[in-house]
Chains A and B, each alone.
Chain A
């Protein structure tokens, strides 16, 4: 117990696995998009996982505190470093430089299946030119992939479905499932309900529950009338 560093240490902590070490892996929200989750496992399952102590892949001696999962073109790779080696590599810890979410997003965009002509420039050209531009704010796709930020809400329209792979990577999804604005989203609300009802109708027909199917068919008709009237 000499020197300031060891001045305060929990009696239960072993050297090298202090809270601070652990934190370097998690503290920076900018790193969050490194953790891609294909699927939400049940909480119980995950908490059933045993101890998670492993050594650094680089030096093999210090405990690994930074765990990075990357999914590139569907290939999942996991790397584990101690804080020191991660710093030496200067690769992950964003506090060390200007490596931030922008770089991460840029990385994603470059590995996008739509643009994966990394080895095939022709393919890249034909599917999604970096010159694609938002007509409202003027932001190009190339600029977007550098900054990781949209310029205006119309960028979403102009870049269109080509953004699907990016959203799939970040969120595991491409479609909004949540709240719809009360005032301006009236039609959308009805349309969404209609969609759900039509799916339910198909299901009931498939399972030969015709009474329920008839009931849903009536509700669909009522909604369709409502849409007609409001036009």
Chain B
């Protein structure tokens, strides 16, 4: 196992395109924030204090009980090239914060990239689990077991009243943020999305866009997550998110059925038009690419492209991002060069081998 493996392939565990409800829920992510007692939080720590935390965590990483959980590798941010960090961010394995702003930042990655442990980000430890499809409980079970391994060997900052103590008061208590990435094209097309997003904020959840450059959100991808971490058990937090997401999934399926029944021609036209453009365009901006990939993804889910795997679209979401395009090219690219390269990558991936031969 080496760094190369993590940055060379856009493929990563969460985009497998399988798992429960994977026609709508692309992936599930769970993050557990933990800190060590008697160590200042990373924002206040000196370099040597931060280094001490990395050393302690690396000790656990080398321990027998961690080895039982699989193969893990520790990467230090200061030893990575800027483009390598960008790729890890685009694959969602590390946060932009860890990549750019941490001191003595590091990450422990599992071989299949389903588990990543961020060290010295805002908190000493952020255990992340990333699974394909709708698997909230499974993600918590996996994350909680990794948490137990660390807890056995490190003295956590835990308080009877406040729970797990975190740098930011918005994370205290359970320290968990569970989120799912939803593909909701039909709710957007039928203009129900405003109402639904509004309702989710009223039940303690937060929705945000994905892969937007700057403030833009593209590709009909929405990330739904809990915001309350104190005063609710992990089980309740997850159940709450689960039940809201289940409602949204039902509504998205109904909207898809509605479109199929009442707007069949416009729907098919939109999907096949996007497929046509993606398979023939010679240059394409990231925003348009994400929108049209969303259309094709919907087409795949509705059974219009029986030879096309949803995995391909998930993978393209990452492999068409600026960092990955440039890493793949082995050099920095201008915007125009990126658009050209993006069009080529999509063309090559969408036209399946069977159609070429």
B165 touches A156 (CB 8 A): yes
CB neighbours (8 Å) of B40 from chain A are 137, 151-152
Q: How far is the CB of B292 from chain A (nearest CB, A)?
A: 8
Q: How far is the CB of B200 from chain A (nearest CB, A)?
A: 8
Is A51 an interface residue when CB atoms closer than 8 A count as contact? yes
Is B4 an interface residue when CB atoms closer than 8 A count as contact? no
Nearest CB in chain A to that of B230: its residue: A171
Is B151 an interface residue when CB atoms closer than 8 A count as contact? yes
CA distance A47 to B248 in the complex (A): 9
B160 touches A182 (CB 8 A): no
B217 touches A173 (CB 8 A): no
Kindly identify which residue among A32, A175, A183 contacts B161, using a CB–CB cutoff of 8 Å: A175
Q: Which of A95, A176, A180 has the most CB of B within 10 A?
A: A176
Is B227 an interface residue when CB atoms closer than 8 A count as contact? yes
Nearest CB in chain A to that of B151: its residue: A181
B148 touches A26 (CB 8 A): no
A176 touches B152 (CB 8 A): no
Q: How far is the CB of B224 from chain A (nearest CB, A)?
A: 10
B41 touches A149 (CB 8 A): yes
Residues on A lying within 8 angstroms of B by beta carbon are 7-8, 10-14, 17, 19-20, 22-29, 32-33, 35, 37, 40-41, 43-44, 46-47, 49-53, 67, 93, 95, 101, 105, 137, 139, 147-153, 156-157, 163, 166-167, 170-185, 188, 191
CB neighbours (8 Å) of B234 from chain A are 178-179
A47 touches B247 (CB 8 A): yes
CB neighbours (8 Å) of A105 from chain B are 169
The 5 closest A-B pairs by CB, nearest first: A173-B231, A176-B163, A153-B157, A23-B217, A171-B230
CB neighbours (8 Å) of B193 from chain A are 19, 22
CB neighbours (8 Å) of A167 from chain B are 162, 169, 172, 230
B203 touches A174 (CB 8 A): no
CA distance A53 to B270 in the complex (A): 26
Contacts A67-B198, A176-B173, A185-B158 aside, 5 further interface pairs with beta carbons under 8 A come to A37-B227, A43-B244, A49-B199, A152-B40, A182-B152
CB neighbours (8 Å) of B198 from chain A are 49, 52, 67
CB neighbours (8 Å) of B44 from chain A are 137, 139, 151-152
B215 touches A27 (CB 8 A): yes
CA distance A175 to B216 in the complex (A): 37
Kindly identify which residue among A35, A41, A175, A181 contacts B231, using a CB–CB cutoff of 8 Å: A175
**A–B complex contacts, Cβ < 8 Å, 17 sampled:** A26-B207, A27-B215, A49-B202, A51-B195, A95-B214, A101-B170, A150-B165, A152-B39, A156-B165, A170-B169, A172-B231, A173-B232, A174-B230, A178-B176, A179-B164, A184-B151, A184-B158
CB neighbours (8 Å) of B38 from chain A are 153
B173 touches A171 (CB 8 A): yes
Q: How far is the CB of A18 from chain B (nearest CB, A)?
A: 9
A101 touches B168 (CB 8 A): yes
